Amino acid sequence: MPTAPVPDLIPAIPEIWVGASALALLLYGVFRGNKHTREVAWLSVLVMAVAAVLMFAVQDGRQVTFSGAFVTDDFAVFAKSLILLGSAVALIISQGYIRNEKMERFEFPILILLATLGMMMMVSANDLLALYMGVELQSLALYVLAAFKRDSLRSTESGLKYFVLGALSSGILLYGLSLIYGFSGTTNFETLAALYSGPAAESPSIGLIIGLVFLIAGLAFKVSAVPFHMWTPDVYEGTATPVTAFLALAPKVAAMALFARVMVAPFIGLLDDWQDVIIVISMASMVFGAFAAIRQTNIKRLMAYSSIGHMGFALVGLAAGTEKGLQGVLIYLSIYLVMNIGAFAAILTMRVKGTMVESIDDLAGLSRTSPMMALGIAIFMFSLAGIPPLAGFFGKFYVFIAAVEADLMVLAIVGVLASVVGAFYYVRIVKIMYFDEPAEPFERPIGREMSAILTGSGILTLLFFIYPAPLVGWAQTAAAALVP
């Protein structure tokens, strides 16, 4: 009997570690019961931290393993750092909520851990099948998380809605993948890149292009870009707030990074064919995100439209299809992550007399009841609006520069206009906080972890402009790893 060659496991050590730890924690949780949810949660955070350390320890340029299904390079490391950061922070800021709302079940951190594993697999995918499996692992965990607060009708409804639409989009994605496979005869990114770089790229078969469009549609759903955004506001509003925070953080980054990888790594030769599609969904997302958010009264719903808009901005960088553009995407995602961490941490502190509130009017007069918090939210809102010199401005700056350099003037102009419109609703929140009559004050104190995270992300957002070089440089190396 021939002995099976053992694949090189070293590049995948972080994933293996996260997967194995998730199983171990699951056993721990089952045996210790729900009373020990807090321990499981902190252990999960520890697992993610260790995974990050492992990831940097084994990082060594571009490594491909598992018969070409798995790749780790600077791009993957960059994206995974953001994902691990987002997931860990989402888990930390959810602790208080979970305790107060009697949602203490040990599966919550474990599902987050498994979703994180799926996201790490997504950004490391080097094969259409690996891509799909990663997406499924992540999505399935997210569907369950969305319905996690099962005694709440809205949470269950949002979970169901997310599941049905998500399953449909997975089907579309899979159909696209199968078409691509059918027309190219391979699922491997490198082979695809070789196949569609030379003369074959001049006249790709129509079937492949259709497959690519299906693929883009499926992924656009995952990043909630218009016109595949319908689930976002409902799911964000209905589900438990920490889950909303989680949904807005890591999965967005992961899906966007995956989007960038799958468009650029195998199909950069077909840039002319897919660029227009990306431009259209990018413009639509930016414009729709800006206009639809104006009338919102619920802060979670508002954040949903905001995230649709932000994904539109990130797609601008991808539409450029250049190294500069990808660098812009990565910078944008990093800054988006930090701003949203702050914003959602703030939303999670909105408790009045033992219940969560999520209306924008509840923020009224916050500057008088808790000035520091109001200042923090104001920073995040200004940054989300993209007002210089806050971090959010630089995110937009880099993607627009890339778009202009790639001769996409119209896209850049639409983007700037959309961010002007978008600024209106962000600034409205600041106005409500500073100039309206105070509403019921929020419960204080908010806890040490919360204040630490709020302060940290606030400072990062505020002072990013002083020393942006490390992030910009790192993003450049990461982007260079992807573009041949």
Distance of CA 311 to the CA centre of its chain: 9
CB 399 within 8 A of CB 313: yes
C-beta of 69 vs 432, nearer to another protein: 69
Residue 197 lies near another protein (rule: CB under 8 A): no
Residue 70, classed as helix, strand or coil, is strand
Give least dist CB 43 to another protein, A: 17
Residue 207 lies near another protein (rule: CB under 8 A): yes
CB 379 within 8 A of CB 461: yes
Residue 205 lies near another protein (rule: CB under 8 A): yes
Residue 185 lies near another protein (rule: CB under 8 A): yes
C-beta of 69 vs 345, nearer to another protein: 69
Neighbouring residues of 122: CB distance < 8 A, sequence distance ≥ 6: 131, 134, 135, 138, 254, 255, 257, 258
Give least dist CB 179 to another protein, A: 6
What DSSP state is assigned to residue 266? T
Phi, psi (5° rounding) for residue 359? Answer: -90, 145
Residue 291 lies near another protein (rule: CB under 8 A): no
Of the CA atoms within 13 Å of residue 170, those in its CB half-sphere come to: 18
The answer, yes or no, to whether the previous bond of 227 is cis (omega within 30 of 0) is yes
Identify residues 397-426 at the interface with another protein (CB under 8 A): none
Candidates 42, 175, 397, 434; binder of another protein (CB under 8 A) is: 175
C-beta of 82 vs 112, nearer to another protein: 112
The candidate with the shortest Cα–Cα distance to 242, out of 48, 453, 90, 41, is: 90
Residue 7 lies near another protein (rule: CB under 8 A): yes
User: How many residues bind another protein, per CB under 8 A?
Assistant: 49
Task: With contacts defined by CB under 8 A, name the span among 5-13, 271-279, 312-320, 362-370 that binds another protein.
Answer: 5-13
Residue 133 lies near another protein (rule: CB under 8 A): yes
Residue 183 lies near another protein (rule: CB under 8 A): yes
Neighbouring residues of 103: CB distance < 8 A, sequence distance ≥ 6: 97, 148, 149, 240
Residue 171 lies near another protein (rule: CB under 8 A): no
Rama region for 63: left / alpha / beta (φ>0; ψ in -120 to 50; rest): beta
Q: Exposed e or buried b for every residue in 362-371, given b needs 16+ CB within 10 A? A: bbbbbbebbe
Task: With contacts defined by CB under 8 A, name the span among 132-140, 322-330, 370-378, 404-412 that binds another protein.
Answer: 132-140
CB 247 within 8 A of CB 235: yes
Give least dist CB 53 to another protein, A: 22
Candidates 36, 38, 62, 105; binder of another protein (CB under 8 A) is: 105
**E strands, 278-431, in order:** 351-352, 355-356
Residue 213 lies near another protein (rule: CB under 8 A): no
C-beta of 43 vs 366, nearer to another protein: 43
Cα distance between the two ends of the chain: 41
Give least dist CB 49 to another protein, A: 21
Identify residues 135-154 at the interface with another protein (CB under 8 A): 136-137, 140-141, 143-144, 147-148, 150
Provide the mask over 70-99, with x wherever binding to another protein is found by CB under 8 A and - wherever it is not: x-----------------------------
The candidate with the shortest Cα–Cα distance to 334, out of 238, 421, 231, 249, is: 249
Q: Exposed e or buried b for every residue in 387-410, given b needs 16+ CB within 10 A? A: eeebbbbbbbebbbbbbeebebee
Candidates 55, 117, 257, 284; binder of another protein (CB under 8 A) is: 117
Residues that bind another protein (CB under 8 A): 1-2, 4-5, 7, 12, 19, 23, 26, 66-67, 69-70, 105, 107, 110-111, 114, 117-118, 121, 129-130, 133-134, 136-137, 140-141, 143-144, 147-148, 150, 159, 175, 179, 182-186, 191, 195, 200, 205-207, 210
